[in-house]
Amino acid sequence: MDETYTLLPSAPPLDDYLRLRRSSGLTPVTAEQGAPAIVGAWSSCHVVDAEGTPVAMGRVIGDGGWYFHVVDIATDPAHQRRGLGRAVVEWLVADVRERAPEGAYVSLIGDPPGQRLYRSLGFEDVAPSLGMGMVLGADD
C-alpha cells in the first residue's frame, strides 16, 4: 500500500460499507443488516484514498477469548492489486495478536480471489472441514 492511502482503525461509514460489499463482489446486505454488523465487530479497519473516500475494509467478529473470524475483506475494484487487502488483513491479524489472549484461533472463509493472499499471510486450509452456511428467509 503506498502513501496515497491511509489505513484507519475503524469501520467505514454505513453507506461506504454497503457500497464496498456490493462493488467488490461480496453478498450485498441491507442497511438493517450492515448497521449492527459494523457496531458488533470485535475489530475493524478501512482504507481511504487521497480524497478520503473509503476504498477497502475488513472486520473481525469473535468472542474476545478464543475464536476470531475475519470477514468483509473488500476492496473497491478501481483500487485492487495495490496491496490494500493485504494491509487490511495484516492490520486485523496484528490487532487480534495484540489484544486477544495467547493461543487465539483466527479463521476466515477464503473465496477463490483471496485464497493466495490469505495463504501468503499464514492461513491454511482446514481440510477435511468445509465451510458451510445458510441464509435465513422470511419463509423459514
pLDDT in tens, 12-65: 999 999 999 999 999 999 999 999 999 999 999 999 999 999 999 999 999 999
Quote the CA–CA distance of 87 and 91 in Å, as a whole number. Answer: 6
Q: For position 135, what pLDDT does the model report?
A: 86
State the average pLDDT over residues 112-129. 91
- Give the per-residue pLDDT at 127: 85
Q: How far apart are CA 55 and CA 75, in angstroms?
A: 6
Secondary element (H or E) of residue 125: none
Between CA 118 and CA 68 the distance in angstroms is 15
- pTM confidence score: 0.94
Strand partners, 64: none
Check if the beta carbon of residue 72 is closer than 8 Å to that of residue 108. Answer: no
φ/ψ of residue 97, rounded to 5: -55, -40
Residue 140 has pLDDT above 70, yes or no: no
